[in-house]
Chain A
Amino acid sequence: MFEQIAFYFFSVLTIGLFLVTVFSKNVLYAMSALASGMVVIAGFFFMVGADFLGVVQLIVYVGAVMALYAFGMMFFNVTKDLKEKTTSNIWILIVAVTVALLMILMFAGAINPDAIYASLPMSYKMNNPEAVGMALFTKYLVPFEVAAIMLLIAMIGGIILAGKKMDTSLTNIEDEVLQQKDAK
């Protein structure tokens, strides 16, 4: 009973918040709606018993990714509304739904649900974070280390890309350009 109430409540919330993200004209509204949607997604993870994944979702997505976006916002002009030339909505809706259905058919059609067996069965002796730790450092050790190297490379890349010419501020550049235009 409570599971049903929680599921439908969270579903309506996520779908609504993500619709705001996709259709909003203001970048700040879109980012706030996305961040709150991520929090509700973490609620889904807690509901299906993936406790550690829910915490990771809260820390990494809501904490790190959205904070990174918020830092990125400081470089862009977000106060004015976006003016975009949008193509006709009904065609995009048709294309998106068709593509999603085709992907579901492609992947779900090839799977026989009776033939699925658990390659990494959950143990009832361990709680979820413990089981995740055991799996991560035994079976998935190599992907884990590769992901660590990938994150390191991404960090270095991000610093090098965004850190170029950090000493000159964007607003000063715009002022100089404006002054040059005025002089002409």
Chain B
Amino acid sequence: MIGLNHYLILSGILFTIGLIGVLRRRNLLMLFFSTEIMLNAANVAFAATSNFYHDLSGQMFAFFVVAIAASEVAIGLGLLILVYKKENTLDLDDLASMKG
């Protein structure tokens, strides 16, 4: 029988994968992808908790997470396009302009 713990462990694994991506990648676009993975991991945990406690609030939170992710992508991609037009690269090491 699949219980709440199974879903929470899966959510933790997915979140860790996203966190590894954020720490490891140097490309801004890849950082955005990793952020999406982390948001999705949180959504899985919300939906599973909502189901196993018979409470609708978890699903409502997941809806607002989806809305926030959508607006984050809209603004973030606009900024990415501006950065790419200006610097012609999305690599964080090339974009770093301060020494240290």
Q: Are A3 and B2 in contact (CB under 8 A)?
A: yes
A29 to chain B, nearest CB (A): 11
Contact of B59 among A53, A75, A151 (CB under 8 A): A53
Contact pattern, A 147-166, Cβ under 8 Å of B = 1, otherwise 0: 10011011101111110110
Q: Are B21 and A21 in contact (CB under 8 A)?
A: yes
Contact of B62 among A53, A99, A158, A161 (CB under 8 A): A53
Q: Are A93 and B59 in contact (CB under 8 A)?
A: no
Q: Which residues of A contact B20 (CB under 8 A)?
A: 22, 92-93, 96
Which of chain B's residues has its CB closest to A48's CB? B51
Residue B95, interface by CB 8 Å: no
Main secondary structure of the interface of A (DSSP, over half): helix
Q: Are B26 and A68 in contact (CB under 8 A)?
A: no
Contact of B78 among A44, A57, A92, A162 (CB under 8 A): A162
Q: How far is the CA of A160 from the CA of B81 in the complex (A)?
A: 11
Which of chain B's residues has its CB closest to A59's CB? B66
Q: Are A136 and B60 in contact (CB under 8 A)?
A: yes
Q: How large is the interface on A (under 10, 10 to 19, 20 to 34, 35 or more residues)?
A: 35 or more
Q: Which residues of A contact B72 (CB under 8 A)?
A: 154
Contact of B17 among A18, A52, A121, A164 (CB under 8 A): A18
Q: Which of A45-60 contact B (CB under 8 A)?
A: 45, 48-50, 52-53, 56-57, 60
Q: How far is the CA of A164 from the CA of B78 in the complex (A)?
A: 10
11 A–B contact pairs at CB < 8 A? A37-B37, A45-B44, A60-B69, A61-B66, A69-B77, A75-B85, A118-B53, A120-B56, A136-B63, A151-B67, A158-B74
Interface of A toward B, CB cutoff 8 Å: 3-4, 7, 11, 14-15, 18-19, 21-22, 27, 30-31, 34, 37-38, 41, 44-45, 48-50, 52-53, 56-57, 60-61, 64-65, 68-69, 71-72, 75-76, 82, 84-87, 89, 92-93, 95-97, 99-100, 104, 116, 118-122, 131-132, 135-136, 139-140, 143, 147, 150-151, 153-155, 157-162, 164-165, 170, 173-174
| 6 tightest Cβ-Cβ pairs between the two chains A and B | A161-B78, A154-B71, A118-B55, A158-B74, A22-B21, A48-B51
